[in-house]
Chain A
Amino acid sequence: MRWIACAALSAALLVVPMVGCASKGSGVDFSSAPTADLTGSRKVSVSGEEAWEHAAREEDRALLSSKKPIEGRWALLYVNGLGCPLCATNIDQQLERLPGVEGVRVDLGSGTVQLALAEGERRLSPMDLREAVADAGFTLVKVTQK
Chain B
Amino acid sequence: MRIRLIAAAAAGCLAPIALGQEAMYTQAATMPGPGSWILRTQMHFIRYGENPVSGETREDVVEWRNAVQVGLARALSLTVDVPAAWKRSESPSGREHAVGVEDVELMLKYRVYMDNPGGIDTTRVALLGGAYVTSGDSREFASQSVNPHLGGVITIVRGRHGFNQDLLYTFNTGGTPGKNNGGEGPDDALAFNTAYVYRVFPERYTSETEGAWYATLEMNGLYETNGDTELRWAPGFMYEGRRFGFEVMAQFPLWNKLDERAELDFAVGFGFRFLF
Q: Tell whether, in the assembled complex, residue B118 and residue A17 are in contact, meaning their CB atoms are under 8 Å apart.
A: no
Alpha-carbon distance between A137 and B31 when the two chains are bound, in angstroms: 8
Stretch at the interface among A58-66, A89-97, A122-130: A89-97
Q: Total contacts A to B, CB within 8 angstroms?
A: 170
Q: Tell whether, in the assembled complex, residue A86 and residue B20 are in contact, meaning their CB atoms are under 8 Å apart.
A: yes
Q: Does A56 contact B (CB under 8 A)?
A: no
Q: Does B41 contact A (CB under 8 A)?
A: yes
- Collect the chain A residues with CB atoms within 8 Å of residue B95's CB: none
Q: Does B210 contact A (CB under 8 A)?
A: yes
Q: Tell whether, in the assembled complex, residue B157 and residue A50 are in contact, meaning their CB atoms are under 8 Å apart.
A: no
Q: Tell whether, in the assembled complex, residue A135 and residue B207 are in contact, meaning their CB atoms are under 8 Å apart.
A: no
Q: Tell whether, in the assembled complex, residue B36 and residue A80 are in contact, meaning their CB atoms are under 8 Å apart.
A: no
* A103-146 contacts to B (CB < 8 Å): 107-111, 134-139
Contact with A along B195-214 (1 / 0, CB 8 A): 00000000111111111100
Alpha-carbon distance between A3 and B99 when the two chains are bound, in angstroms: 9
* A55-105 contacts to B (CB < 8 Å): 79-94, 97
Q: Tell whether, in the assembled complex, residue B275 and residue A89 are in contact, meaning their CB atoms are under 8 Å apart.
A: yes
- Give the distance to chain A from B133, nearest Cβ to Cβ, in Å: 21
Contacts A14-B41, A93-B33, A94-B33 given; 20 further ones with Cβ under 8 A?
A2-B1, A3-B99, A9-B9, A9-B12, A9-B13, A21-B243, A46-B121, A46-B161, A49-B160, A53-B119, A81-B119, A83-B122, A83-B157, A85-B210, A86-B245, A87-B30, A90-B19, A109-B208, A136-B33, A137-B111
Give residues in B with beta carbon < 8 Å to A.
Answer: 1, 5, 9, 12-13, 15-16, 19-21, 30-36, 39, 41, 64, 66, 74, 84, 86, 99, 111, 114, 116-122, 124, 157-162, 203-212, 240-245, 272-276
Give residues in A with beta carbon < 8 Å to B.
Answer: 2-3, 5-6, 9-10, 12-14, 16-17, 20-21, 23, 41, 44, 46-54, 79-94, 97, 107-111, 134-139
